[in-house]
Structure 1
Amino acid sequence: MVQEPERHGDEEPPGEAPPRAVVLATFDSLAPRTAEGVAGELDVARDHAAATLSALVDAGELESAALVDGDDALTAYYLSPDVHPGGSIDPETARRAAVQRTIAELDVPGVSEMMQDWRRDALERAWEFLAEEGTVSDRAFKREVYPGHKAGYDTAEAWWAFLRPRLARLPGVEGPSDDGSTWEYVGP
């Protein structure tokens, strides 16, 4: 018998586990969190949040403890003070998680989830390129990012038509400039 995943609320939860950086960013102190609490904050299924939390424990990014009261058991997840001195994650991890969360919420065209994921990956790579360079022209995005992240587009122009309006909505991005072709990364 196949058991259905647990649901929170009356809504159908999204069908995939959230990225590890996004889940890790929900921990802003050494205070413990539960899979249910993380799932509610990220609006994902509890089982998907639990899977990502377990992967973070396996990677040594989080620690966990089973809390038992009679027949009731609960797993608490928390930042390791050894891995995260001061009880918080580094700003770069938090910034990347904010970008990934924003990208995940954007409407992305595609006939399949895989195509949509490729397009989200291309958008994230464009953001990374801008964050690394500081100032980037439309032409540089097409020359440097498009060849490795075509996302199913046959031409750089079609790819840029998809990417351009979405890039402007990401955290830390300012652009395009008055000339219409220069973008700037201004930080968090």
Structure 2
Amino acid sequence: MAQERERPEAEDAPPRAVVLATFDSLGPRTAEGVAEELDVGRDHVAATLSALVEAGELEAAELVDGDDALTAYYLSPDVHPGGSIDPETARRAAVQRTIAELDVPGVSEMMQDWRRDALERAWEYLAEEGRASDRAFKREVYPGHKAGYDTPDAWWAFLRPRLTRLPGVDGPSDDGSTWTYAGP
């Protein structure tokens, strides 16, 4: 019988921006509550929450009642005045959540992650430029984010239908090759 390979928690932990975006006020959250909202394992969320506390993005308090203990996480008022996440962090988290839910081909989880990274970079490029053509994506994004594709055309065939599903993306235009970033 084959033994199931155990993966380290960090590999399955949700991205920090995605976890941080679940905090929309100064109200506390538990690892269980965040894990349920993101539909991932509690241990994986706890790893990301710990990293956010270490980075100073969140604060944590241990609540003890007899033998029971619970850790509550909350936005650091020094980092997030007014208890809200900056719009760029929220936008990035929405994109990462959407990308994580997309069906991405690949023979391994690592290959799928490369392809998700390429898709996120294409979105970033469009958001930075405001408008871009198919050719510009291939010229500017493909060389640094090939995601296992041997040609820009094969890469674009993977990317193009998924790019339309990301927040703020309008495209392609009537000419069939111009994309526009419409914002949040």
TM bracket (short chain): over 0.9
Runs ≥4 residues deviating over 4 A = none
Q: CA RMSD in A?
A: 0.6
Identity of matched residues, %:
90
Give 1:161's match in structure 2, choosing from 157, 161, 172: 157
Give 2:94's match in structure 1, choosing from 92, 95, 98: 98
TM-score (normalised: structure 2): 0.94
Give the secondary structure class of the aligned counterpart of 2:29.
coil
How is 1:138-149 mapped onto 2 (pairs within 5 angstroms)?
138-149=134-145
Give 2:172's match in structure 1, choosing from 167, 176, 180: 176
1:115 aligns with 2:105: no
Q: Which residue of 2 is the match for residue 12 of structure 1? A: none
Taking the aligned partners of 1:67 and 1:119, their CA distance within structure 2 comes to: 41
Give 1:58's match in structure 2, choosing from 54, 57, 61: 54
Q: How many residues are paired up?
A: 174
Q: Which residue of 1 is the match for residue 12 of structure 2? A: 16
Q: Which residue of 2 is the match for residue 40 of structure 1? A: 36
Give the secondary structure class of the aligned counterpart of 2:59.
strand
Task: Tell me which amino acid in the other structure corresponds to 1:119.
Answer: R
Q: CA deviation at 1:35?
A: 0.0
Name stretches of at least 5 consecutive residues in structure 1 with no aligned partner: 1-14
Give the secondary structure class of the aligned counterpart of 1:150.
coil
Q: CA deviation at 1:147?
A: 0.3
Taking the aligned partners of 1:83 and 1:20, their CA distance within structure 2 comes to: 15
TM-score (normalised: structure 1): 0.92
Q: CA deviation at 1:24?
A: 0.2
Q: Which residue of 2 is the match for residue 26 of structure 1? A: 22
Q: CA deviation at 1:25?
A: 0.1
Taking the aligned partners of 1:152 and 1:28, their CA distance within structure 2 comes to: 37
Taking the aligned partners of 1:151 and 1:16, their CA distance within structure 2 comes to: 19
Q: CA deviation at 1:107?
A: 0.1
